[in-house]
Amino acid sequence: MNLPDSSRIGRKFPLGFFPTPLHALQNLTEKYPGYKLYMKRDDHTGLATGGNKTRKLEYLVQEALDQGCDTLVTAGAQQSNHCRQAAAASVQARLECHLLLRGSKPETVNGNLLLSTLMGAHTHYCGEDIEEEDVRQVMDDLRRRGRKPYYTPIGGSTLTGSLGYVDAMKELKEQMTGQKLPIDTIFFASSSGGTQAGMLLGKAVHGIDARLMPVNIDKSGVSTHGSLEDAVLVIANEGAEAMGLSKHFTPEDVKLVDGYGDAGYGVVTEKDRSIIWELASTEGIFLDPVYTARAFYAMTDMLKTGQIKPGANVLFWHTGGTTANFHYYNELSGR
Ligand SMILES: *Cc1c(COP(=O)(O)O)cnc(C)c1O
């Protein structure tokens, strides 16, 4: 039988170490009676320290190579984990890497930006917002220099990138079977939407019942290109059609867990600091202040307030970003 599958519509350039571990959070489970807590370690995908963008970049980089491109262009915040992993992926695939970054050139280069720079990525500072015009300019300049650039947007959140998380759900299913571990609920951070869209598709393709809890790490409803929910819905339905899934996703399927990101993107709050401290000091595992801290806080809050069915096996999908802690050291050290 020819099952709908990501391999029908994309190919991978291997960049990471898979499967990533899935393990119990023993100490933390004691603090949340009535639940069993687990973690999926995509902070350990292995590419330049790891993170969720590794899975997306495997498909994106292969698409770039298949199109005969020799340069990868992408965009993000100065401390973007996606940009750091895109720089590493480019090194591995021998592509020239160009990063369009928000803001102006910083006085000190640290955290993810330091790592991207060490990997030879070229940086372009675009001011307050990265506009289509900025992208076009960089692409045109590269073409004038005789390069063949491939562009993937912020977070690599296209259908191609999302395929990495369709596969990730298959990986999870195999681990659930192997460990005889039925997962009921999956918490994770959602921001540009590709991870969420891929998980949603992967759930349908691979027949997984677990409930997705995508935590919006930014202010509700904020996005330059429509809402995050709309972006997820578009990618998921595009994927369903391309893979021949007899499924149409509705707004109900892409609902975000809202209200935990109201401080705004990249603003490190006391809650972010304290939840990073809580996990680090109970399990020796580091969250990041921009994404996973907010998602993890949402999970603990919903457990404490009984919003998750008692007795549930709850999985936190760690999407990486720990290198950003080295940029936010002032906020995190409590000064
Ligand atoms: C990019 C990122 C996310 C969000 O993934 P999207 O696919 O952009 O929604 C979550 N966590 C970390 C650490 C990230 O770098």
Question: pLDDT tens-digit profile of 15-45?
Answer: 999 999 999 999 999 999 999 999 999 999 9
For residue 290, count CB atoms less than 10 angstroms from its CB and return exposed for 0-12, middle for 13-18, buried for 19 or more.
buried
Please report, for the domain that includes residue 217, its CATH number.
Answer: 3.40.50.1100
In a domain, 1, yes or no: no
Q: From the CA of 80, give the closest atom in ligand 1.
A: 15
How far is residue 320's CA from residue 83's CA, in Å, rounded to a whole number? Answer: 13
In a domain, 234, yes or no: yes
Asked if 54 contacts 15 with a C-beta cutoff of 8 angstroms, the reply is: yes
Same domain, yes or no: 285 and 265: yes
Q: Which residues line ligand 1 (CB under 6 A)?
A: 51-52, 81-82, 155, 157, 189-196, 288, 291-292, 319-321
Same domain, yes or no: 75 and 48: no
pTM (2 d.p.)? 0.97
In a domain, 318, yes or no: yes
Residue-range definition of the domain harbouring residue 266? 6-52+157-332
How many domains does one find in the chain? 2
pLDDT digits (tens, 9 = 90+) for 73-108: 999 999 999 999 999 999 999 999 999 999 999 999
Q: How far is the CA of 169 from the centre of ligand 1 (A)?
A: 16
Q: Is 284 left (phi over 0), alpha (psi -120 to 50) or beta?
A: left
Q: Which of 156, 179, 198 corresponds to the end of one domain?
A: 156
Contacts of 270 (CB under 8 A, 6+ apart): none
Same domain, yes or no: 78 and 188: no
Q: Annotated active-site positions, please?
A: 80
Q: Which of 156, 187, 219 corresponds to the end of one domain?
A: 156
Residue 216 has pLDDT above 90, yes or no: yes
Residue 1 has pLDDT above 60, yes or no: no
